[in-house]
């Protein structure tokens, strides 16, 4: 089993407070407590930094660091995996009013994948827009478990998943160091690149889970 | 006095239980110079503004988080508290203040401790999240 946090933000996002190295160091703390975390996908808000190279950090800490993006659309936020230069030319990631269906189509056309993030979020999640008549017939995967969700939001995503027979991924939506990897997506085989991640998503063999499910004992309390 | 050598990555600060009372919020607002009825002190004003009830001022939430940190630092100083208000903080609800040490570095003859701080409900749902920097002596001697 290979466990990825599919959704997190570093200081490259406007509202996050953690550096990539701090996340990777924190994952060592989690591993020391018996939890399994193999990889993170940086999904910075409305941007994709193709030039950023996290290979040395990834090697030093033994964590696979992949890059994606979280973009805003008229129907809520979407996570984009497998971003390519061609996709960046086709879609303006800074456009907060972009058409969600066009994003999904363009992503598919360019070998990437766009997945609704926290669809159960009150006010801005896809569930709200579907209730108002939005149609997304080609919806196959949603982020069903989001670590930043308020009470009831993951439950709304879960209901959408069941109702439409979708598949679900999970991510922490971390903006702070200690919130990385609270929710993870389990894949049957290791993933080493963004291309492999898209292939694994297309294969459909994955499941969402919480960090606590990856260790036999509850989080150790180190209160001083 | 807490020293840098006593602090480790992953240490937990708290949790400390805390309930904001309307009386406490009124006292805070008076000290702050906000004496009139407001969404912080009046059920009626709060409801008129679309809130379910009176809420705790953001700087009061920051104040109790600061106290959590400075009590723990025990002689150290708070250099930065940068918070995000995720949800309104209600009166008369049992809440929890908690911090986690996320980074450590010596800097300018002191130890700098980076902490994630949270004001959360009893069920763990977070109302205020933040990051703090504390400076503590490198050694207690």
How far apart CA B46 and CA B43 sit, in angstroms, is 5
Judged against a pLDDT cut of 50, whether residue A67 lies above it is answered with yes
CB–CB of A25 and B9 under 8 A? yes
Confidence of residue A36 (pLDDT cuts 50, 70, 90): very high
Judged against a pLDDT cut of 80, whether residue A223 lies above it is answered with no
Crossing angle of the two packed helices B58-73 and B22-32, in degrees rounded to 10: 90
Q: Is A94 on the interface with B (CB under 8 A)?
A: no
Q: What's this model's pTM, rounded to 2 decimal places?
A: 0.92
How far apart CA B29 and CA B57 sit, in angstroms, is 8
Distance from CA of A17 to the nearest CA of B (A): 7
Which of A133-166 are b and which e, b meaning 16 or more Cβ less than 10 Å from the residue's Cβ? eeebeebebbbbbbbbbbeebbebbbebbeeeeb
Q: What is the pLDDT of residues A93-151, one digit of tens each?
A: 999 999 999 999 999 999 999 999 999 999 999 999 999 999 998 999 999 999 999 99
pLDDT, mean of residues B66-71 = 98
CB–CB of A222 and B123 under 8 A? no
Chain A residues whose beta carbon lies within 8 Å of the beta carbon of residue B103: 22, 25, 177
A209 CB burial (10 A radius; 0-12, 13-18, 19+): middle
Q: What is the pLDDT of residues A201-220, one digit of tens each?
A: 999 999 999 999 998 665 54
Judged against a pLDDT cut of 90, whether residue B59 lies above it is answered with yes
Strand partners, A71: A78
Residue with tokens 């490259």: A12
Chain A residues whose beta carbon lies within 8 Å of the beta carbon of residue B130: 176
Predicted local distance difference test score (pLDDT) of residue B141: 60
For chain A, give the mean pLDDT: 95
Distance from CA of B10 to the nearest CA of A (A): 7
pLDDT, mean of residues B62-82 = 96
Q: Is B8 on the interface with A (CB under 8 A)?
A: yes
Give SS3 for A177.
helix
Predicted local distance difference test score (pLDDT) of residue A217: 61
Identify the structural domains of chain B with CATH numbers, from first to last. Answer: 4-20+56-137 (3.10.129.10), 21-54 (no CATH)
Q: Is A178 on the interface with B (CB under 8 A)?
A: yes
Confidence of residue B139 (pLDDT cuts 50, 70, 90): confident
Nearest to B11 among A17, A25, A224 (CB): A224
Predicted local distance difference test score (pLDDT) of residue A20: 98
Predicted local distance difference test score (pLDDT) of residue A201: 98
CATH fold of the domain at A2-214:
TIM Barrel (3.20.20)
Predicted local distance difference test score (pLDDT) of residue B35: 85
Residue with tokens 């808000």: A45
Predicted local distance difference test score (pLDDT) of residue A218: 55
> What does the domain layout of chain A look like in residue ranges?
2-214
Q: What is the pLDDT of residues B17-50, one digit of tens each?
A: 999 999 999 999 999 998 889 999 999 999 999 9
Cβ neighbours of residue A132 closer than 8 Å, sequence gap 6 or more: none
Q: Is A221 on the interface with B (CB under 8 A)?
A: yes
What is the ipTM, given to two decimal places?
0.88
CB–CB of A224 and B84 under 8 A? no
For chain B, give the mean pLDDT: 95
Tell me which of B8, B9, B115, B140 to substitute to probe the interface with A (most A C-beta atoms closer than 10 Å): B9
Alpha helices in chain A (DSSP H): 20-32, 55-61, 85-90, 100-109, 126-131, 153-164, 194-203
Q: What is the pLDDT of residues B43-56, one digit of tens each?
A: 999 999 999 999 99
pLDDT, mean of residues A86-90 = 97
């Amino acid at each position: 089993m290979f466990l990825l946090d599919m959704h997190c933000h570093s200081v490259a996002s406007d509202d996050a407070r953690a550096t990539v190295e701090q996340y990777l160091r924190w994952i060592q703390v989690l591993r020391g407590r018996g939890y399994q975390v193999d990889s993170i996908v940086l999904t910075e808000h409305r941007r994709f930094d193709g030039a950023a190279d996290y290979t040395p950090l990834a090697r030093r800490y033994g964590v696979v660091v992949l890059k994606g993006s979280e973009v805003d659309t008229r129907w809520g936020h979407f996570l984009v995996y497998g971003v390519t230069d061609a996709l960046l030319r086709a879609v303006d990631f800074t456009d907060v009013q972009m058409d969600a269906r066009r994003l999904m189509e363009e992503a598919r056309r360019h070998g990437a994948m766009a997945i609704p993030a926290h669809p159960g979020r009150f006010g801005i999640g896809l569930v709200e827009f579907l209730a108002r008549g939005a149609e997304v017939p080609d919806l196959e995967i949603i982020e069903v478990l989001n670590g930043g969700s308020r009470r009831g939001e993951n439950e709304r995503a879960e209901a959408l998943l069941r109702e439409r027979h979708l598949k679900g991924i999970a991510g922490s939506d971390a903006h702070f160091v200690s919130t990385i990897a609270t929710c993870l997506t389990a894949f049957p085989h290791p993933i080493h690149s963004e291309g492999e991640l898209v292939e694994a998503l297309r294969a459909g063999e994955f499941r969402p889970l919480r960090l606590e499910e990856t260790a036999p004992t509850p989080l150790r309390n180190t209160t001083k | 006095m807490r020293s840098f050598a006593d602090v480790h990555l992953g240490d937990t600060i708290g949790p400390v239980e805390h309930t904001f009372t309307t009386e406490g919020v009124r006292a805070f607002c008076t000290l702050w110079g906000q004496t009139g009825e407001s969404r912080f002190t009046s059920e009626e004003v709060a409801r008129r503004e679309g809130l379910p009830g009176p809420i705790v001022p953001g700087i009061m939430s920051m104040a109790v988080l600061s106290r959590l940190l400075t009590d723990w630092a025990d002689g150290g100083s708070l250099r930065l508290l940068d918070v995000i208000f995720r949800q309104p903080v209600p009166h008369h609800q049992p809440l929890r203040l908690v911090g986690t040490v996320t980074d450590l570095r010596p800097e300018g003859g002191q130890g700098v401790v980076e902490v994630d701080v949270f004001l959360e409900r009893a069920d763990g749902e977070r109302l205020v999240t933040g990051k703090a920097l504390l400076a503590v002596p490198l050694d207690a001697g």
